[in-house]
Structure 1
């Protein structure tokens, strides 16, 4: 089985340094429109955080800023030990991305390539990563890591099938395996179940919960499905107009909190 344990066990998670610390984080793409307006956020190892809010509230922008894909405009940001003021140095951004896995609403698989090759693509960015182009030229240790990641999402038997031969739910599990092959400390998922039917969507969220909860991976995901947010997150962070409206354990989020987030 794949050994994905890269963070402290859940019983000791709060003794460790935070995975993410943001203080007064701001982001604007031009001088006239501020997207994030002073976000404070602290995420501990092993937590599962649901980021919710209406379209345009800044969820996806915040995700991209937290992991260095977009430079912040102001405030302080530390992610996995990297200080990301001004976008961070190139070395810091590279080190951060090597410790982070990404899963998005669109699977972004290469449809005509094998499932195994698609998972190995998750190793692009590593030294010699041109060999991640295809399983046929990948080093044997990379092939083994990819097979172990597929086993972790219960798709080892589909390794040599073309990606476009799989169902939507299976393709999303391949995308999860592609993220896991990096052996990440932090897993970012932007609306990972939005394009799936209800059963497949819950299966994917069950998988996130099992993998992250059991292996100490920190999960930060966005969702418009409030049942997913409340059932699968340990904490819910609501954004409204670029600010944190509330940050609560999922069991303490009320219907009035959700009404204020989306209608208030």
Structure 2
């Protein structure tokens, strides 16, 4: 049975206003249910690649398709509907610190409500129960009424994963989700992401610095260097020595547009 392409980059280029080339002619297809890890040095274009998928960054040229539909010209409601199906997990958690865990998790449903209802916190009974179930998945249900700023970093990231689950996404983007966490908490967060990937067939695209974590969790590893795709292999074909070229600092400086 042929795999379904969920994300397709077609000759994608991203040039920033100062002339720096963030992505250079990226051709890449990601498939339903894959757990794909992007590796490369800081400044290689990893975050740029992720943020083009939900249009946090617009591309300069080429085309980008989600589930077969070009997203480069989406606006208004169509763009909001796209973002509803793409969960984003940030390094800095992006929680409302003064709000409760419950309210933060329910914010994952705002795309399904009129603005006035979400502002007033008028979420349905079903969605409130869904929030409880989402928190149970990440072992955080006991903290449902706790303020986010009273949680540890690892707890906050697990709340962020529960919030993402509330969107019912088909894609999860994780931008260095464990960069500020200790090793034990890192494993818990990565296990949560892998479980969502396996249980719900969500496509996960994650940026990671750790080679060990990439080897442990990925189905496929992609390497970026200076905005270019320089590596793409299923995990069964990946060897540790492959990372030496990807992380070659002498080749990794982002270029200026000629």
TM above 0.5: yes
CA distance in 2 between partners of 1:255 and 1:229 (Å): 10
CA distance in 2 between partners of 1:257 and 1:130 (Å): 51
Q: Determine the structure 2 residue equivalent to 1:154.
A: 139
Select between 252-261 and 53-62 the one with higher mean Cα deviation. Answer: 252-261
SS of alignment partner, residue 221 of structure 2:
strand
Q: Determine the structure 1 residue equivalent to 2:24.
A: 37
CA distance in 2 between partners of 1:159 and 1:133 (Å): 19
Residue pair 1:82, 1:96 contacting (<8 A) in 2 also: no
Q: Determine the structure 2 residue equivalent to 1:121.
A: 107
The structure 1 segments of at least 4 consecutive aligned residues displaced by more than 6 Å after TM superposition are none
Distance 1:124 1:118, change over 3 A: same
CA distance in 1 between partners of 2:30 and 2:211 (Å): 20
User: Per-residue CA shift, 1:67-126, capped at 9, x if unaligned?
Assistant: 2222211112101343023x4343432221011111111112122221101101112232
CA distance in 2 between partners of 1:130 and 1:175 (Å): 23
CA distance in 2 between partners of 1:222 and 1:151 (Å): 26
Q: Determine the structure 2 residue equivalent to 1:144.
A: 129
Q: Determine the structure 2 residue equivalent to 1:11.
A: none
Query: For structure 1, which runs of at least 5 residues remain unmatched after alignment?
Result: 1-13
Counting only pairs closer than 5 Å after superposition, residues 233-244 of structure 1 correspond to structure 2 as 233-244=218-229
Matched, 1:217 2:202: yes
Residue pair 2:81, 2:111 contacting (<8 A) in 1 also: no
Distance 1:94 1:81, change over 3 A: farther
Q: Determine the structure 2 residue equivalent to 1:10.
A: none
Counting only pairs closer than 5 Å after superposition, residues 100-111 of structure 1 correspond to structure 2 as 100-111=86-97
Matched, 1:56 2:43: yes
Residue pair 2:39, 2:221 contacting (<8 A) in 1 also: yes
Residue pair 1:53, 1:262 contacting (<8 A) in 2 also: yes
SS of alignment partner, residue 124 of structure 1:
helix
User: Per-residue CA shift, 1:158-199, capped at 9, x if unaligned?
Assistant: 111222222221111000001000111001100001110011
CA distance in 2 between partners of 1:177 and 1:20 (Å): 23
TM-score w.r.t. the length of structure 2 is 0.90
Matched, 1:15 2:2: yes
- RMSD of Structure 2 on Structure 1 (CA): 1.7
SS of alignment partner, residue 15 of structure 1:
coil
Q: Determine the structure 1 residue equivalent to 2:59.
A: 72
User: Per-residue CA shift, 1:101-157, capped at 9, x if unaligned?
Assistant: 11111112122221101101112232324433465x322222122112112212112
Query: For structure 2, which runs of at least 5 residues remain unmatched after alignment?
Result: 252-258
